[in-house]
Amino acid sequence: MGRVRQAGKNIFFGYISNIIIMIMGFLQRTVFIMVLDETLLGVNTLYTDILSVLSLADLGIGSALNYSLYKPVAEQNQEKVKSYMRLYKRAYLAIAGVIAIVGIVLIPFLPFLIQDSKGITGRELMLYYLIFLFNTVSTYFVAYKYSLANAQQRNYIQTNIATITKMITVSAQIAVLLVTKNFLLFLLTQSVVELLQKIFVSIYFNRLYPYLKERDVKKLEKRETDVVVTKTKALMLHKIGDVARMSTDSIIITYFMDVGWVGIVGNYTMIITYAVNFIGVIFNSVISGFGNLVATESKEKQYAMFCVYRFAACWLYGFAAVGFWLLLTPLITGIWLNEKWGLGQTVLTLMLVDFYFKGGRTVLVNFKIAAGVFEQDKYLALFQGVVNLVLSIVGIQYIGLAGVYVGTVVSGVLANLIQPVIVYRDCFDKKAWTYFTDSAKYIGVIAGIVLLLVPIKGFIMQQVNLMTFIVTAGVITIVYQMIFFVCFRKTQEFAYLWKLAAVRLPFLKRFRL
């Protein structure tokens, strides 16, 4: 099956998954807020982020080994695949042990982090944390099994399993909340369902790839092991920096403000994350396809596909950022919940600036993963993490919540300036000037669209209700797509996407760009 067809299959199932997960997530969070309170919601979000920090024990092994699998999978070298998978399994079992030990060591420090738990005892905080820790550690016993399917561009297997698990988990958790109103049972329900899922995954992949159970596995050559080790060391620095940037905000907010604010911010980040996941289906579904492209095609072909990939990202992430800037607060405070759960426009603006630039980094990072370019900017993410922590900690003490996101934006933009230079130089043998000039064009068009839409939104949404929200969302969608079409319809990137769409929608062939 070709790269485009496999990517299409991954995208289809990815979208179905994201729609289902989004609906289930809204239902779960709504019932949670109705039955419990913002403190427990904040604890739930905080512990998720703490375990994300602990998961840096992964140290990039997964990405390094996935990169190493692309070539033997493309060549159908089963023996080499077995060798890499055995290394992957041993590495992830070691990771599980490290996370378990470090996680237990952190338990005595929890009361110092959550200084105002509003009636939640220290014993309860510890018990909740141990459940989160168990969920994280147990994941590593089966996580490596997905890598071979993903290297074969069969990402939809992991997607479908995650979707079904989410549906069962959320349905059971909602029932438990409505009947018992008990946070502990809410967490235990998730643990039981996910444990059953992990047992199923182990059995399923053993049957799908029976040769992985064979004992006659050849040891990797030193050269091959050295490649994995070298790339893992580079990815370790990337991972530490990324965690310092993206998983510490809730910890800083909890310490300097209140854990309840983590729950309020979490409503915004949940919806933004759904958009990231929804758009990311397209881009993450083609990583393995790009890995195959890098292994089999010329640099000119790789560059052409990168440009298309990057144009699509700017279009889609820009659309989402504009829509969220105009509609996210009315959605949360006027339709879904109430004014109590609102954030200021300054904080939202900073969150969405980071969201848009993060979309640009997704393109760069995914291509770097596919091409195995890890070492060249290995200190950048670490530097970003330090910048984010310093600016966020200082900022929150002087300008409040917005200060946390000033650190996030500034540290993120550093990568948007440096990574294009590395990717263009090492992957395409080109200068990155066109990347930056194109970036300016995209940002200029998006800023112009925002200026046009602000008065239109004010005219339509004089009162916030479901009808004015839907009408405004429709107008934003039409205006944004029309302007982007007019501005970029003559580009090679748009022509490629139009041709690709015309294969599925033949009536498009009648329109001239």
Q: Hey, what amino acid is at 62? A: G
Per-residue pLDDT, 210: 86
pLDDT in tens, 96-139: 888 888 888 888 887 777 766 666 777 888 888 898 889 888 88
Answer for the pair 392, 406: CB distance below 8 angstroms, yes or no.
yes
Asked if the model's pLDDT at residue 67 lies above 70, the reply is no
Report the chain's mean pLDDT, rounded to a whole number.
83
* Locus of tokens 């059995």: 203
Q: Is the pLDDT of residue 233 over 50?
A: yes
Model pLDDT, residue 57 = 43
Q: Which pLDDT tens digit goes with each residue over 317-329?
A: 999 999 999 999 9
- The amino acid present at 242, given as its one-letter code, is D
Across residues 129-154, what is the average pLDDT?
82
* pLDDT reported for residue 5: 64
pLDDT of 2 strictly over 60: no
pLDDT tens readout for residues 196-222: 999 998 899 888 888 878 888 888 888
As to burial, measured by CB atoms within 10 angstroms (0-12 exposed, 13-18 middle, 19+ buried), residue 256 is middle
- Higher pLDDT, residue 378 or 288: 378
Residue 380's Cα: distance from chain center in Å?
19
- Using one digit for the tens of pLDDT, what is the confidence trace for 388-401? 989 999 999 999 99
Q: What percent of the chain has pLDDT over 70?
A: 85
Average pLDDT over residues 146-174: 84
Is the per-residue pLDDT at 407 higher than 80?
yes
Q: How many CB atoms lie within 10 A of CB 446?
A: 20
Q: What is the amino acid identity at position 502?
A: A
Confidence of residue 1 (pLDDT cuts 50, 70, 90): very low
Q: What pLDDT is attached to residue 63?
A: 60
Close Cβ partners of 24 (under 8 Å, ≥ 6 residues apart): 166, 167, 170, 171
User: Do 53 and 133 meet the contact criterion of CB atoms below 8 Å apart?
Assistant: no
State residue 390's pLDDT score.
Answer: 93
